[in-house]
Amino acid sequence: MSEKLTLIVTEDGSHSLYHESLKETYHSFHGAFKESIHVFMLYGLDAWLMRNPQKKPIRIFEVGFGTGLNAWLTLVWAEQNQIPVLYHTIEPFPLDEEIYSQLNYGDIDDGIFHYKPYLQRLHKANWNEGVVISEYFNMKKEQTTLEEVRLYPSDVVFFDAFAPSKQPELWTKDLLEKVSQQLNHGGALTTYCATGELKRNLRELGLTVETLPGPPGKKEMTRAWKP
Ligand SMILES: C[S@@+](CC[C@H](N)C(=O)[O-])C[C@H]1O[C@@H](n2cnc3c(N)ncnc32)[C@H](O)[C@@H]1O
């Protein structure tokens, strides 16, 4: 996969990236910020917390660190809720500083402006080792692929790979099984994707699958719980 990337502005004013050779954006064109809040914070972390109010820390695994938007919003969530998070994320194609230093996520919502500097800290953090980023947020960012990574047990999985139509090799039943095997009982996998094949595969792997309303511009998304 080549890495020719262009910075774009999505409909809620937040940045995303356009991957020229895949002809695919890193987030929904209808709003990167809104999509991440909806799919991963509200239907991921908040939903998990409602079911597991006592369990700390939360262990999160993310497929595709990319712009760092999900990681950064999770850091904000962890600090605001005072819940310790251990965040494991993978990315085979880290962004250049020239790109990540332009990302405007810290300017979208005045209420969390205070956390703006942490986005750069996430990007600058050393790869392949555990790093304390803030009081409630520890991260291990690995430069590797989903195919290669050795997973830890997790409570919440942010499955944020490029769409199955663009990168089908990341949505195979084998890779979903690899991830779901490491999902703790009571844990959830959340993704913007809502294809029938994904839901069928997750069901066949023994997960309880929900189809939920999608973020702006998207009818549906998927969340799957490990019983
Ligand atoms: C849809 S983007 C989302 C990125 C990120 N979550 C964000 O908010 O910017 C998908 C990401 O998966 C990464 N990726 C590509 N191939 C991968 C692989 N084999 N394993 C893991 N991640 C991969 C891409 O480089 C890209 O950063």
User: Can you give the residue ranges of every domain in the chain?
Assistant: 31-225
Ligand 1 midpoint to CA 134 (Å): 24
Residue pair 224/210 in contact by the 8 Å Cβ criterion? yes
Whether 69 lines ligand 1, by a CB cut-off of 6 Å, is yes
Ligand 1 midpoint to CA 54 (Å): 31
Ligand 1 midpoint to CA 89 (Å): 10
Q: Distance between CA 67 and CA 147 in Å, rounded?
A: 20
Ligand 1 midpoint to CA 48 (Å): 23
Ligand 1 midpoint to CA 46 (Å): 23
| Cα–Cα distances in angstroms (integers) from residue 219 to residues 47, 49, 68, 81, 87, in the given order | 19, 25, 25, 29, 29
**Residue nearest atom 5 in ligand 1 by C-alpha distance:** 66
CA angle 70, 73, 79 (to 5 degrees): 140
Q: What is the DSSP letter of 46?
A: I
Whether 170 lines ligand 1, by a CB cut-off of 6 Å, is yes
3-state class (DSSP) for residue 18: strand
**Residue nearest atom 11 in ligand 1 by C-alpha distance:** 64
Q: What is the pLDDT of residue 227?
A: 97
Q: Tokens 């099984």 belong to which residue? A: 177
Mean pLDDT along residues 130-156: 98
| Spatial CA neighbour of 111 closest among 79, 142, 88 | 79
Ligand 1 midpoint to CA 65 (Å): 6
Ligand 1 midpoint to CA 193 (Å): 14
- The model's pTM is 0.98
For residue 2, pLDDT over 90 is answered with no
- Give me the phi and psi of 210, to 5 degrees please: -120, 140
Cross-strand bridge partners of residue 160: none
Residue pair 66/96 in contact by the 8 Å Cβ criterion? no
Looking at domain 31-225, its CATH class is alpha beta
Q: Distance between CA 195 and CA 37 in Å, rounded?
A: 21
Cross-strand bridge partners of residue 63: 90, 159
The residue that leads in pLDDT, 148 or 111, is 148
Q: Distance between CA 156 and CA 187 in Å, rounded?
A: 6
Whether 94 lines ligand 1, by a CB cut-off of 6 Å, is no
Q: What is the pLDDT of residue 156?
A: 98
Whether 41 lines ligand 1, by a CB cut-off of 6 Å, is no
Q: Which of 63, 70, 119, 176 to mutate to test the pocket of ligand 1 (most atoms within 8 A of CB)?
A: 63
- Give me the phi and psi of 27, to 5 degrees please: -140, 175
List of E strands, 105-219: 130-134, 137-142, 154-159, 183-191, 208-213
**Residue nearest atom 24 in ligand 1 by C-alpha distance:** 64
Q: What is the pLDDT of residue 110?
A: 87
pLDDT single digits (tens) 6-51: 999 999 999 999 999 999 999 999 999 999 999 999 999 999 999 9
Burial of 163 (0-12, 13-18, 19+ CB in 10 A): middle
